[in-house]
Chains A and B, each alone.
Chain A
């Protein structure tokens, strides 16, 4: 696969005004201001191949949004080189803008007073899409996202989930080679999130669109992204297969066993941590490499039912971020 984006030693430093507390501080700020520098992205090296579905993970303020803004040209890097599809994004060339799309969960391209069709018609002209291609794409995406009946409805009356689907249609209408998604499932319920994940997977697989996704929801990353990039404090702390990321950080397994009798805790394996105790039902957390031995011990107690699960994703995320913070220190 061909490299379509490359970052070399990219740094972005924001200068921010540090205001002293209270009214006195506000008045002082009129005459003398103190600024501090905050490195949102620090010496980052990265390359993206065509057709990849990449998850960009990191806590708030890690530099994910800054990275997307630099890749789309919205902001310029303080230093370093960014090359996407042979363009310097911050040159803001229309030829480049026609090849990507960006959807930011909290920023909308839709006209709230008008219908989705009105906005689509506008974007058809802005991206100079031929009428036939426009009609085909509109039909394809409205069917894919299941919003055919919403195309003539005033946008302000749509639910958050419906609106996000329509934002994605607007973004995908010109068949971009790269799609940047910044928190597309933020605030959505589980069903809408799941639907959007399904559609994005199809767009990536069927159309070959390269997708860079930032999300706080690890379900999004795990379900969609073959590759994950973890950043914290503007630095890259992991870049590799999502599967490997979870293997590396998902240290524990959860074993839930149901017995036909009340089990005394003293006979449970001592290598496991008891998370839930209902007498006849026990939930244990055990380190991955000890899971086999613990399981054998539990089987010896003749359970009626047994369930083995991966550790909760939230705990994995916490571990990843903690490692990032330790590296920063």
Chain B
């Protein structure tokens, strides 16, 4: 296990080298909150609730979901795997005694831990500056389920991106898969608009998909909504993680033999 801690640590250290990235990430987080504050301020003019949300409830949801979606950084993994398979440097992960998926999970954990600190500071600063009356759940089960879902959801996204990267072994180009995934994720994770504002039937369909449990449901739970979905949500995302793990194992076994490492 210590090897994976060290992988996480080295990627965390690597983030610290580039100071501009840290600053811009913080600015980006702040800009998103400012934008949301202005946008929802206009929408709430003359209304006390929209779709069951108060203004501060909406802002709280937005800050939490924005914070979580900022932490979900696994999309780079599919690109990196794809690129490395195509240029032959994926062999780097095949010759060392580590599990490749574990390596990428540790790598992501290292990067996320680093950004967690700065994103948290940025979000907290704006709660104070805008004097947002932050709405937070008081239900322990909801909080525990939400925390579990955050980790499971991030792990699922890592699995998905790892899997999509591996598809390069068969299809060479995975751009179309990534495009579909990115659009689905943007819509179903509820980072653009809370899903509660969508037609009910659409939301019911989304509940079968894992993306619903990645940022949307944890954000809702933490801000005191959808408490009745907490336990079932934790079970569904766990099931998706299990299914994805089986799919990854089968794909790895079947396609890794296709890796030719580029060059004769």
Shortest beta-carbon distance, B30 to chain A, in Å?
A: 26
- The docked-state distance in angstroms from the alpha carbon of A241 to that of B186 is 63
**B18 cross-chain contacts in A, Cβ below 8 A:** 113
A109's contact among B7, B13, B92, B256, by CB below 8 Å, is which?
B92
Q: Are A107 and B6 interface neighbours, CB within 8 A? A: no
Partner of B97, one of A69, A121, A122, A126: A126
Q: Tell me how far the C-beta of A237 lies from the nearest C-beta in chain B, rounded to whole angstroms.
A: 16
Instruction: Say yes or no: is A63 at the interface (Cβ < 8 Å to chain B).
Output: yes
User: Per a CB cutoff under 8 Å, which of B2, B17, B96 touches A97?
Assistant: B96
Could you tell me the distance in whole angstroms from the C-beta of B23 to the nearest C-beta in chain A? 17
Q: Mark B16-37, 1 if CB is under 8 A from A, else 0.
A: 0110000000000000000000
CB pair A40–B6 under 8 Å, yes or no, is no
Which A residues lie within 8 Å of B6 (CB)? 121-122, 124-126
A198 nearest CB across to chain B (Å):
26
CB-CB < 8 A to B47: which residues of A? none
CA distance A119 to B96 in the complex (A): 13
Q: How far is the CB of B114 from chain A (nearest CB, A)?
A: 13
Q: How big is the A interface, by class?
A: 35 or more
B17's closest neighbor in chain A, by CB? Answer: A113
Q: Which of chain B's residues has its CB closest to A182's CB?
A: B263
Listed from nearest, the 6 A-B pairs whose CB atoms lie closest are A125-B6, A94-B97, A97-B97, A125-B3, A40-B264, A113-B17
- Please tell me if B229 contacts chain A, counting CB pairs below 8 Å: no
**A38 to B264 Cα, complex, angstroms:** 10
Contact across chains for B17 and A127 when beta carbons are under 8 A apart: no
Flag if A128 contacts B264 (CB, 8 Å): no
- Contact B263–A65 (Cβ < 8 Å): yes
CB closest residue in chain B, given A39: B264
When C-beta atoms are compared, the residue in chain A nearest to B6 turns out to be A125
Q: In the complex, are the beta carbons of B92 and A122 less than 8 A apart?
A: no
Q: Which residues in A have some Cβ–Cβ distance to B below 8 Å?
A: 14, 38, 40, 61-63, 65-66, 69, 72-76, 90, 92, 94-95, 97-98, 102, 104, 107, 109, 111, 113-114, 118-119, 121-128, 154
**Is the pair B259, A122 in contact by a Cβ cutoff of 8 Å?**
no
A69 touching B261 by the CB < 8 A rule?
A: yes
Contact: B96 with A75, CB < 8 Å? Answer: no
Are B95 and A14 touching (Cβ within 8 A)?
no
B94 within 8 A of partner (CB):
yes
B226, CB-defined interface residue at 8 Å: no
Q: How far is the CA of A76 from the CA of B261 in the complex (A)?
A: 11
**What are 24 pairs between A and B in contact, CB < 8 Å?**
A40-B264, A65-B264, A72-B91, A74-B91, A74-B261, A90-B257, A92-B256, A95-B97, A97-B97, A98-B97, A104-B91, A107-B88, A107-B92, A109-B96, A111-B14, A113-B17, A114-B17, A118-B10, A121-B10, A122-B6, A125-B2, A126-B3, A126-B97, A128-B3
